[in-house]
Structures are given as structure tokens and as C-alpha cells.
Amino acid sequence: YQRRVHGKCNGTIASNAALVGVLNGATLQPPIDVVVCPTALHIDSVRAQLKHEGISVGAQNCVVKSGAFTGEMSAEQVADFGLKWVILGHSERRHVFGETNEVVGQKVAAAIAAGLTVIACVGETLDEREAGRTMDVCIEHLKAVADNCSDWKKVVVAYEPVWAIGTGKTATPAQAEEVHAGIRDWLGKNVSPEVAAETRIVYGGSVTEKNAAELYGQPNVNGFLVGGASLKPAFLDICAAANKCK
């Protein structure tokens, strides 16, 4: 069972310290897996303060290689820093910074080669959903990951409908399950039945402590990629949803 959290471009030293204090006191029942991904500036301080053995620290992004890429950090550098996780292909990286499927695929290959586990994001915009292209878009994103994946044990797929991120709108449990089931079906037919069965598919899009349990109760929803709610103590209530389902 999975729980993921990332802080977007949010947080200060003081607010992070307060949240880490809450996390350190959390009671998490295995096999819940929690990863916090603060901004690059805050990774070191969060990791130093985080004492909970059941919570890891990851990065929000990386580039393929070290070199003349001012302002970036490479997959090798993330691994060298002692981190095990990285989020790649987030919708904001795609739509704000123009990352293509090709770029995301290259990053996935580099991250896995560096020994990182990738949280690979897929998901459609509102226009794409209304045009009936939800699965087409998600599969296009997923195929770029599959074409560059050398080890599926190093990949968690995160379905994040762009129209539900930070908007207060959430995919219904049925909508989330439909896409998650479609992703698993594609993996089974195009990668292998084993990969389809074992790959964790998490949901991201205005997840809160109020809707987590119902979403997590869906057969193919294996956890969450949490944005805004991860900055609040109620995040632990989202983690606790795993103890009530499945």
C-alpha cells in the first residue's frame, strides 16, 4: 500500500519543521509507504529532522545528466545525495515548463539507471477529458515511461487528472478506478501480466482526509500523490485511510 506526498513550490524552514514534527509522531501500520518530496532547498533540512523510520524523503524532479543545466539537479546527484525517490512527469512540469513525453521518458531511464524509484505521473486536462481522450492521453504518457523502463520494480504510476489538481474538484471514485483499471489493463497487454499485477498505481488530484478512504477503497487505487493536503497535519488522516481499506 502506498502513500506519496509532495509539497510543490511551497513551504518554509519553519512550516516544514512543524509538519515534520507531526510526521515524526505518526503511527503508520506497515505496509504503508510514505515519501515526502519538499522543494530542493528544503530536502536537507527535512531529511535531517525527519526521524520516522517509515517515512522517506524524495525529490520533486531531476534532469537526465549533470552538466551545463543551470538551476537543475541530475538523477545521479539526487542519488548521490542519498535519496531513493523522484517524481517525474508531473503535470506542472509538462504544462508549465513544457516537458514532452520524450523528455519525461529520458528522465525515467536516467533515474532508474541511477538507482532511484520513479513516481511517474500521467493524466489528462479538462479539455482532453471532455473530448473523450482521457485514456488516449494517459496511455501516451505511460508508453513514454514503458519505452524507457528497465526495471518496473522501480516505478510507481501516479494518475493525476490535471483538472482536479488544486481546484477542489476530485475525480469520483468510479472515474479514478476506471482510469487506474485501464492503466493496469494496458500494462498487462503491453508489458506483462506480472508487471500489471505488481505495479502500484496511485491517485493525485485534490485528495483530502475526507475523500481518501472512499478513493482508496477502489480495487486499483493503491495510494495517493498528495499536493496541498500534504502541507497540513490532516495528511496523517489520509495515511490512516489505508488502515481502513483492503
Enumerate the active-site residues.
Answer: 90, 160
Rounded distance between C-alpha atoms, residue 131 and residue 125, angstroms: 10
Rounded distance between C-alpha atoms, residue 142 and residue 145, angstroms: 5
Rounded distance between C-alpha atoms, residue 143 and residue 173, angstroms: 24
Cell of 88: 517525474
Residue 219, Cβ density class (10 Å: 0-12 exposed, 13-18 middle, ≥19 buried): exposed
Q: Which residues contact 59 (CB under 8 A, 6 or more apart)?
A: 37, 40, 43, 73, 78, 83, 85, 86, 87
Rounded distance between C-alpha atoms, residue 35 and residue 224, angstroms: 11
